[in-house]
Structure 1
Amino acid sequence: MTPEQVAASYDRLAERWLDLSAYGFAPVERAVAFVKRKSAALDVGCGTGRLMGLLRTHGFATDGIDVSPAMIALARDRHPDARLFHADICGWELPRSYDLIVAWDSVWHVPLVQQAAVLAKLCRGLAAGGVFVFTTGGPDGPEERRDSHMGPPMYHATLGIPKTLHALAEAGCVVRHLEYDQYPEAHVYLIAQKSESGQPGVYDRVRLRPVEAGDLPRMYELQMDPDSNRMAVTIPRSRDAFDSHWAKALGDPVNTTRAVLLAGQMVGYISCFPMDGEDHVGYWIDRAYWGMGIASRALHLLLAEVTKRPLVATAATSNGASLRVLQKCGFVVEEVRHSPATDRYPECEEAVLVLR
């Protein structure tokens, strides 16, 4: 199910959440105890605003976001002075940093492929020392489920505990509490806290090194991922085409090709190469590590190594994540054009960005 379909299901259920149940209050109170500066809070999947009243009693000015327009309308009735946003957390950019972010029974509706990115985004949205409390499923590995227990169809997903803990750690957060609060049901809530320095741990753990022959099987595997190709609007190379391309690329000293490492593990690759009389840059990051700032850091490191300018990059206009990475590193959109289909790229609208 898409977030829009989840929203439609919640629209049909919105009136059920007008009760004053204290469900989830005790875990949120536990999280509040870790917060040193009780100023701004964000309730992700705020629904009708049930938890916002609790946060107000602790002195927080609380923003709310929900994908369901019916839920947001009821929350506005309950909290007319609050800042409320009708939006999908997957694409929404946080307007400020927060001392506390609550996502009670909400982010588990995010599509599995986007879960790590959303967790990383919310961790980035914490102020230094800020606290994030949220619920998820508690299996050992990733899972997706669809059901109709409440009537309308619903979707739930989880990275599983190991990958959830990894995502939080890479985003610079320490887990203060993890509890199966409805055991034997696999319902888990976690409290995580950002370091006082405010620096995400992943930033200083990204390294580049020259690509080696032994990296090629991993690179081939990465470029075959269907979701990555949909995002980048690309067509994966066949094995023969891949081997031929990289044999030529790695044998040409004019190319700068680097493996992207996170804590010593290869999670992608990035390169600078001549094409059509211009110097281009491109990168590919393992989908499991999207949304953690790895691409931005890798590009920053490459630009420190490759000092020639101008540099050119292209990205499908639908690929907002890559456009943000490039613009964050100083690239400016200078042209938007139609790109015809080739054996490597589907037809699309393409942005040309230049770093001068």
Structure 2
Amino acid sequence: MTPEQVAASYDQIADQWLDVSTYGFAQIERAVGFVKHRGAALDVGCGTGRLMGLLGGHGFRTDGLDVSPAMLALARDRHPDARLFHADICGWELPRSYDLIVAWDSVWHVPLAEQEAVLTKLCRGLSASGVLVFTMGGTDTPDEKQNSYMGPPMYHATLGVPKTLRVLAEAGCVCRHLEYDQYPEGHVYLIAQKLGNDAPPVDDRVRLRPVESGDLPRMYDLQLDPDSNRMAATIPRTREAFDSHWAKSLDDPNITARAILVGGEFIGIISCFPMDGEDHVGYWIDRAHWGKGVASRALHLLLDGVTKRPLVATAATSNEASLRVLQKCGFVVTQVRRDPATDRYPECEVAVHVLR
């Protein structure tokens, strides 16, 4: 069965899920115990919103996702202020990173061929030390089946316990708890946690300071890098344009420009600046330091010091690294548009992000 067919089956029985059953609550509360920061949560397969009250009681701001429009309509009635998404998790991109992701009796409806990609996506969507709790079939090998136990036809699939544990490890997560909680039935729930906070992070060596005039020669050289310009979809400034831009920027009290230092070495800049009546943020980092968490840490530090909101950031949709950084720091995509070419940017598709 396709996800659309599964959605149609759940549409037929949506009203059956309006009860206030506490099924799964104890298992989810066990997972909550591993969460270090109770901020944003995501309920994948939220159905009628049964778990949102539970998660809200633990201090989470919970987003909900479901493929069934009938189930989601009932969730909106129950939780009118919640942010709810009607989408298939196979193709949906997480709008931010989450401290807790719950997928209780939901992702096992994902087609077997998509299971590994979805599980990896959820792991990558966790914040550092974030927790994922989900249910699966407790088989030793991948398996799938279809039945009508609930009335309409339904589909279930599982990677099996050994492969699931491998996928979690490859995605940077460790299993904290695995239990056959309905034994002898093969119903398994698993709690996984993303690693990161206990390693000697580059985070501890990243700091910001105000940009100084002595930084400008290095900044000019960095913005000439061809690979960086391809990634960011930008056109480097000429020496004259660069000098003119930064002469004005360093004298403008409305601009917060910070040098990014790693272990005392200057490796880039990050700034907050007014543009078109909005406050924008942007950064530029030496290519040698890509993929090390520097951008995320620098943006976190900037946001700690810049309290004005909302903040806007744009990134080319082809720039997957920057899209992940922005969303990890809480920015949400509000628009995707096609921008015309200018002397600074080639024509390209950009995603507009907002932090409120």
The amino acid across from 1:13 in the alignment is I
Residues 149-180 of structure 1: CA deviation (Å, up to 9, x unaligned):
11100000000000000000000000000000
Q: Residue 11 of structure 2 corresponds to which residue in structure 1?
A: 11
Q: Distance in 2 between matches of 1:50 and 1:115?
A: 24
Unaligned residue ranges in structure 2 (runs of 5+): 200-290, 292-315, 323-356
Question: Are 1:109 and 2:109 matched, yes or no?
Answer: yes
Q: Distance in 2 between matches of 1:122 and 1:198?
A: 21
Q: How does 1:1-356 map to 2 (within 5 A)?
A: 1-197=1-197, 328=320
Residues 225-268 of structure 1: CA deviation (Å, up to 9, x unaligned):
xxxxxxxxxxxxxxxxxxxxxxxxxxxxxxxxxxxxxxxxxxxx
How far off its partner does 1:196 sit? 2.6
Q: Distance in 2 between matches of 1:126 and 1:197?
A: 12
Q: Distance in 2 between matches of 1:2 and 1:167?
A: 23
Unaligned residue ranges in structure 1 (runs of 5+): 200-299, 301-323, 331-356
Q: Distance in 2 between matches of 1:6 and 1:132?
A: 23
**Given that residues 109 and 155 in structure 1 are in contact (C-alpha distance below 8 angstroms), is that contact kept between their aligned partners in structure 2?**
yes
Q: Distance in 2 between matches of 1:43 and 1:107?
A: 11
Partner-residue secondary structure (3-state), 2:17: helix
Alpha-carbon spacing, 1:146–1:120, altered in 2? closer, same or farther (3 Å):
same
Residues 119-157 of structure 1: CA deviation (Å, up to 9, x unaligned):
000000000000000000001000000000111000000
Residues 293-340 of structure 1: CA deviation (Å, up to 9, x unaligned):
xxxxxxx9xxxxxxxxxxxxxxxxxxxxxxx9976489xxxxxxxxxx
Q: Distance in 1 between matches of 2:318 and 2:80?
A: 39
The amino acid across from 2:129 in the alignment is G
How far off its partner does 1:198 sit? 9.7
**Given that residues 127 and 198 in structure 1 are in contact (C-alpha distance below 8 angstroms), is that contact kept between their aligned partners in structure 2?**
no
Partner-residue secondary structure (3-state), 1:101: strand
Alpha-carbon spacing, 1:184–1:73, altered in 2? closer, same or farther (3 Å):
same
Residues 4-25 of structure 1: CA deviation (Å, up to 9, x unaligned):
0000000001000000000000
Identity, in percent, stands at 76
The amino acid across from 2:174 in the alignment is V
Q: Distance in 2 between matches of 1:326 and 1:83?
A: 26
How far off its partner does 1:181 sit? 0.2
Partner-residue secondary structure (3-state), 1:175: strand
Q: Distance in 2 between matches of 1:60 and 1:196?
A: 21
Query: What CA RMSD, in Å, does the superposition of the two structures yield over aligned residues?
Result: 2.0
The amino acid across from 2:64 in the alignment is G
Q: Distance in 2 between matches of 1:156 and 1:325?
A: 34
**Given that residues 128 and 198 in structure 1 are in contact (C-alpha distance below 8 angstroms), is that contact kept between their aligned partners in structure 2?**
no
Q: Distance in 1 between matches of 2:138 and 2:27?
A: 16
Alpha-carbon spacing, 1:329–1:96, altered in 2? closer, same or farther (3 Å):
closer
**Given that residues 120 and 168 in structure 1 are in contact (C-alpha distance below 8 angstroms), is that contact kept between their aligned partners in structure 2?**
yes
Q: Distance in 2 between matches of 1:325 and 1:81?
A: 29
Q: Distance in 2 between matches of 1:28 and 1:21?
A: 14
Aligned length: 207
Partner-residue secondary structure (3-state), 1:77: helix
Residues 27-67 of structure 1: CA deviation (Å, up to 9, x unaligned):
00000000010010000000000011100000000000000
Partner-residue secondary structure (3-state), 1:149: coil
Q: Distance in 2 between matches of 1:129 and 1:327?
A: 25
Partner-residue secondary structure (3-state), 1:145: strand
Q: Distance in 2 between matches of 1:86 and 1:197?
A: 33
Q: Residue 310 of structure 2 corresponds to which residue in structure 1?
A: none
How far off its partner does 1:110 sit? 0.2
The amino acid across from 1:183 in the alignment is Y
The amino acid across from 1:20 in the alignment is V
Q: Distance in 2 between matches of 1:179 and 1:103?
A: 15
Q: Distance in 2 between matches of 1:67 and 1:3?
A: 7
